[in-house]
Amino acid sequence: MKNNKGCEPGAIGKRGSGILLHVTSLPSRFGIGDLGPGAYRFADFLIRSKQRYWQVLPLTPVDYPHEQSPYNCMSAFAFNKYLISPELMVRNGRLKNADLNAVPRFSQRKVNFAAVIRFKDRIFEKAYERFRSKRGRSDDYVRFCDDNSMWLDDYTLFSALRDGQERRSWIQWPAKIKDRDAKALEFSRETLKRTMEKEKFLQYVFWKQWVALKSYCIDAGISIIGDVPIYVDFNSVDVWSHREIFKLSKDSKPLFVSGVPPDYFSETGQLWGNPVYDWHALKRRGYEWWIRRIEHSLKIFNCARLDHFRGFVAFWQVRSTAKTAKSGKWVKVPVDGFLSILRKRLRGFPIIAEDLGTITPDVREVMGRYDIPGMKVMLFAFGDGGSTNPYLVHNHVRNCVVYTGTHDNNTVRGWFTNEASKAEKQRFFVYLGRRVSAQVVHEEFVRLAMSSVADTTIIPLQDILGLGSSARMNRPASQRDNWQWRLLPGHLKTSVAEWLARTTTTYGRA
């Protein structure tokens, strides 16, 4: 990927603020947010409201509709093709207007992933046939395929094989394909050539649309903060093609899986179920897979948030047969070896650590040693801890990123209405100096976050709009109704942009 516009070091650093909104939540008439007009309108809202940052969740492919979490990716490098904009495909001649005449009546409020897939797969086939009918391939397309062959070839083969195997897990594929026999893979590449090229085409279309959107943002002074999940799904191309860096049995099944111990979100911990890394194997290979992954992410984003950063210092390992995460144990990672090599390879070190949950002193020491900013979540500020609670504004430091909440939290209004205890509300009122109602509590949280000494403040759009629990993005440890929330077209009112611009200016973040 040659387009590195906006990837300068220090995308985080100046005093500024931004908004957290995942692409799937953007308005569009195609059932799911995409990289088209709705994304540009949101970028314009960021400009009007004097924001510096747009934070998104992972853009990697997900096993829709069975799995909806963007943190359970099928590839650490590929893109989610269902975020491609059909309207932009019409504009550049990949589709015709007539191809979009029969768009289903999708809900504007929630993503119906199964319906989106049916519709988009149909129009993608039309676009690919049009692309395939042209003589030759553009230099730009060929260059994209060459530049990304390291991950693109394996991913498109894996995707084609999954389709041919009725989307079964790779562990259930015929033995020679499952175990990557060279002759079997070469035969598969020949027989699945069309399917593979179609997937390469869609990856290319996503990249072109993303580069255009990112350039639009950069030209307006907006940096994009991305999110790098620490783990990949077992049914991913990464595990299939890089088994040596995961803790697997001789028959390629996970020996241990990921999770976290009991915490704020769950009394029994969270059993995520992803295969865990064999960091000794990664060390022997110079951490190359992880370094390539982060370098790749920083070609897509200006700055990357490393999800579950404490897992780079020590991770919670649970036997694959366990029913909950309570029986796991912490396993140390050779973090200094990894981060020292990574810092040498990167221009600057535009990394944010997701350091929420159980954080031990060794994690804090690593973050301090490498000058990596962590996160402060305002919704945690009014629980126990009194005046020493690290999330209270007066305890913040410059080198951190302040959030009212994250995609895993309730909205501020939802928390205030449905979750906050009387004691928490009273602490909030005392800290604020007055009582406030549920109708304006989000405004007070935004002001507190903006007033922080921290260089960077990021506010979920739901909290800027003062939306309730129905707008929550994710409920950890719950498998229902997650990742579906969508922004309604009329939500981004001029009055909201003006209020946010005033607040941003007041606290020196414009």
So which residues are the catalytic ones? Answer: 307, 354, 408
Which tokens go with 489?
A: 């077209």
Give the CA angle between residues 28, 31, 34 to the nearest 5°.
50
Tokens of 273: 């179920």
Q: Are 458 and 401 in contact (CB under 8 A)?
A: yes
Q: Quick one: 500 exposed, middle or buried, by C-beta within 10 A (0-12, 13-18, 19+)?
A: buried
Integer Cα distance of 267 and 67 in angstroms: 24
For residue 212, the surrounding DSSP H or E stretch is: helix 193-219
User: φ, ψ for residue 226 (rounded to 5)?
Assistant: -100, 180
Nearest partner of 460 among 510, 374, 401, judged by Cα: 401
| Cα separation, 376 vs 394, whole angstroms | 12
214: number of CA atoms within 13 Å, CB side? 23
CA distances from 271 to 65, 306, 308, 350, 476 (A): 21, 19, 14, 30, 10
Paired strand residues for 460: 20
Strand-strand pairing, 53-55 and 400-403: unpaired
User: In angstroms, rounded to a whole number, what is the distance separating the alpha carbons of residues 244 and 86?
Assistant: 39
d(CA 178, CA 241): 9
CB 381 within 8 A of CB 393: yes
* 325, 326, 328, 333 alpha-carbon torsion, rounded to 10°: 80
Q: Do 442 and 39 form a contact (C-beta atoms < 8 A)? A: no
Q: In whole angstroms, give the CA distance from residue 398 to residue 491.
A: 32
Compute CA distances 443 → 202, 252, 421, 439, 462, whole Å: 41, 51, 20, 9, 11
Q: Cβ neighbours of residue 36 under 8 Å, at least 6 residues apart?
A: 28, 85, 86, 87, 88, 209
Q: By the 8 A CB rule, do 278 and 332 touch?
A: no
| Cα(116)–Cα(126) distance, integer angstroms | 16
